[in-house]
Structure 1
Amino acid sequence: MIHKFLRTLAFGASLTAVLGSGAFAQSTGTAADTVITNTVSVTFDGAAAPVEGEVAFRVDRKIDLTLTSRATQETSITVSSGDPQARLGFELVNLSNAPLSFRLSVDQALGNSMVDFTEASTPTATPASGEYSIIVSTTDNFSAGSPLASGANIDSVNPGDTVYVWIVAHVPSGSAEADAQVFTLRARTTEPDTNDLVAEQRSTDPMDLNTVLVDVATQSTLTPATEIDPERDGADADQARLQVTVPTITAEKTVSVRSEDPNFDCSSLAPTPPPASDLVFIPGACIQYRISVANTSASTDATNIDITDDLPAGITFAAVSQFSSIPLGATFTSQPSQSGGTITAVIERLPPGTTASFFIRATID
């Protein structure tokens, strides 16, 4: 069983968090505690009145649930080193015919290459580096979710309702390519608005309200051959993998002559016609450096890219442009600027497969 290889970071059972009804309800059958009565009536020749027989029974509680990772077997949740809000999504559905509460716990697999995360002491959607929290919502909207305090239950989930759950983790800076951690989320059914785990109860009296556990054994989404939760235990679990991909950054610098004319306004950044292709690097000429920074990774944003360019001796700084051809989704902490012969700039976020560039003008001494 896979849980023999897991270190449990369990939640206790002292606080509660009340959630409303989910937006998507599934059919779960006749509501528990419904009394169904049937009467038979018999008449015959000479009878003064019909002879009747009546019987009744109470619909018992059927305890069933599913907890499913929104990742797939083939796809890990890929994040960048230092990602402050890496999210692993799950869907929890109450398939019972009665309202239930659910107690959540988180496990992390031993032996993975990423450091184990610790639960944030105060649950939050923005945990500190190396920490995680649980966020729950009745809609598929992370921003509308509420942090789940350690020891809290998801209370009063109606039959057929779905609760959306996220494990949000702050990936430590310096995490290497392919570093990974497997999280297991487990949900246990509890009696509504209590911390008591649901237990099976059976009797022979048809008017008693019995409780029957009917949940099936489940396999991990990551490893379908591995049973992750046994049948008929009033619980379910699934797994998702958090894996770091480090963006690949390339930098290119080219130089060209804009004008050989010593009277050319090299400090002007106004558009000018393309220069002739045969211009040469003579004293007094205006030259232009073009600096391009590219994120060549397929799926990972590059963040906090610091650019420093110390201009060499033999030239005099004239001007520096802002970033041009700004790719969609790119953001900048600071545009290029010059101080003491050094050009600096900071790209806050550069999406995968995009390039940001700027140019520097100088004259040859």
Structure 2
Amino acid sequence: MKRTSRLLGAVSIVPLIALGASPALAAGTDAGTTIQNTVSVSYQVGGVTQNDQEATDEFVVDRKIDLTVAEVGGTQTVVSPGSTQQVTTFQVTNLSNDTADFGLTVDQQAGGAGAFGGTDNFDTTNTLIYVDTDGDGDWTDEVAVTYIDELAPDETRTIFVVSDVPIDQVTGDVATVILTATAYAGGTAGSQGALLATSATNTVDAVDTVLADGAGETDAQYDGAFSAADDYVVSAAALTVTKISSVIEDPVSGTTNPKAIPGATIQYCISVTNAAGSATATGVNVTDDVPTGLTYTDTNFPVSTNSTSCDVAGATGTGSYADPTVSGTLDDIAAGETRTLIFQAIID
């Protein structure tokens, strides 16, 4: 490093005086700050005090680039198959001693362990990035971006990664997404600066750059980037539908060992069961066309819904019939529960 000084005479006392240093923040003294130091030497000749001799040195503080990206919440984002605009949240913190722009990219992990459990086995779609510019925690009032603009030293910005989930995913499927922030030069609002790299030489009177970041999820140390991962985990309903028919009565034997002859009454029971450990199924609607050769009847009871078995006595709701379709809406079906739709028809 180049230094400027003047040759001194006989040296007696050397007090050091530091001038012009900026207060240090967590990120350190601001890049571009001029650090000046003046030394003063007093002495005597023949017992007579002479004029003090001084020398001054100064240099410019260089730019140290450091950052972190952290997932927010510490848990997987639970999603449903086919759901859209599902959000994972991160925070990017500028630990540098200078304002910087940070390019943002999202990658889909290709297999391997999820960030918080399970194994990555699918990719989300239509992934976009939003920056919480107003700090209200809401991504819907922001516009999708590809970088953070003008992030000051020691400042943190919340990032929302928003994705869609394919319809065919099942409970336990995991999609791991990786957000990477990469440092670019700041200084011009509304425009992403140049990609930063460690300076090859040290220029005393100019701002050099040193990449000082750590290694993240997929990036290396001192590469001007940092990455973190989060998971989408699928919670789906696993519905099983069964349909059975029973002969209730016939015109010859009545209800005693009835047979499926013309005029006999057939009872249909459609059961919808949600497997244990599944998400609750909502908005369950059952439709069934009365087959040719049968005529719908409500002589004994109308379309009945929400029994937990094929016993109409347990029904708590009714459906409807509009030739030739029987339909009914079932209550929400939680994991391990069954709901039914029951109706009758007469053999022609």
Task: Provide TM-score, normalisation by structure 2.
Answer: 0.61
Question: 1:54 and 2:60 equivalent?
Answer: no
Task: Tell me the equivalent position of 2:328.
Answer: 344
Task: Tell me the equivalent position of 1:306.
Answer: 285
Distance, in Å, in 1 between the alignment partners of 2:140 and 2:178 is: 23
2:171–2:278 Cα contact (<8 Å) kept: no
Task: Tell me the equivalent position of 2:138.
Answer: 142
1:202–1:212 Cα contact (<8 Å) kept: no
| Structure 2: gaps of 5 or more residues | 1-24, 112-119, 242-269, 307-316
Please tell me the residue identity of whatever aligns with 1:338.
Answer: S
Cα shift at 1:337: 5.8
Q: Structure 1 stretch 293-302 or stretch 184-193: which is displaced more?
A: 293-302
Distance, in Å, in 2 between the alignment partners of 1:83 and 1:167 is: 14
| Structure 1: gaps of 5 or more residues | 1-25, 118-129, 221-227, 252-290, 324-334
Please tell me the residue identity of whatever aligns with 1:98.
Answer: D
Task: Tell me the equivalent position of 1:162.
Answer: 156
Secondary structure at the counterpart of residue 143 of structure 1? coil
Distance, in Å, in 2 between the alignment partners of 1:47 and 1:109 is: 75
Task: Tell me the equivalent position of 2:84.
Answer: 84
Taking the TM superposition and a 5 Å limit, the aligned residue runs for 1:4-153 are 27-45=26-44, 46-47=48-49, 49-70=51-72, 72=74, 75-110=75-110, 113-114=121-122, 116-117=123-124, 130-138=125-133, 139=135, 141-143=137-139, 146-149=142-145, 152-153=146-147
Instruction: Give the structure, 1 or 2, with the largest relative contact order (CA under 8 Å, sep 6 or more).
Output: 1
Please tell me the residue identity of whatever aligns with 1:52.
Answer: E
1:91–1:163 Cα contact (<8 Å) kept: yes
Please tell me the residue identity of whatever aligns with 2:197.
Answer: A
2:277–2:336 Cα contact (<8 Å) kept: no
Please tell me the residue identity of whatever aligns with 1:147.
Answer: V
Task: Tell me the equivalent position of 2:209.
Answer: 211
2:168 is matched with which residue: 167, 170, 174? Answer: 174
Distance, in Å, in 1 between the alignment partners of 2:149 and 2:318 is: 53
Distance, in Å, in 2 between the alignment partners of 1:237 and 1:58 is: 31
Provide the aligned length of Structure 1 versus Structure 2.
Answer: 268
Distance, in Å, in 1 between the alignment partners of 2:233 and 2:333 is: 18
Distance, in Å, in 1 between the alignment partners of 2:139 and 2:273 is: 31
Does the C-alpha gap of structure 1 residues 100 and 322 become closer, same or farther in structure 2, counting only changes over 3 Å? farther
Task: Tell me the equivalent position of 1:240.
Answer: 230
Distance, in Å, in 2 between the alignment partners of 1:84 and 1:346 is: 25
Please tell me the residue identity of whatever aligns with 1:305.
Answer: V
Q: Deviations over 1:104-155 (max 9, x none)?
A: 22222335532x44xxxxxxxxxxxx42212221436133552324xx3221
Cα shift at 1:317: 8.6
1:33–1:58 Cα contact (<8 Å) kept: yes
2:183 is matched with which residue: 186, 189, 194? Answer: 189
1:79–1:300 Cα contact (<8 Å) kept: no
Please tell me the residue identity of whatever aligns with 2:181.
Answer: A
Distance, in Å, in 2 between the alignment partners of 1:185 and 1:48 is: 65
Please tell me the residue identity of whatever aligns with 1:231.
Answer: Q
Secondary structure at the counterpart of residue 36 of structure 2? strand
Cα shift at 1:231: 0.7
Does the C-alpha gap of structure 1 residues 300 and 358 become closer, same or farther in structure 2, counting only changes over 3 Å? closer
Cα shift at 1:93: 0.9
Secondary structure at the counterpart of residue 139 of structure 2? helix
Task: Provide TM-score, normalisation by structure 1.
Answer: 0.58
Q: Deviations over 1:36-89 (max 9, x none)?
A: 2222223334335432222222221110011122364xx543311111122222
Does the C-alpha gap of structure 1 residues 91 and 141 become closer, same or farther in structure 2, counting only changes over 3 Å? same
Structure with max Cα Rg:
2
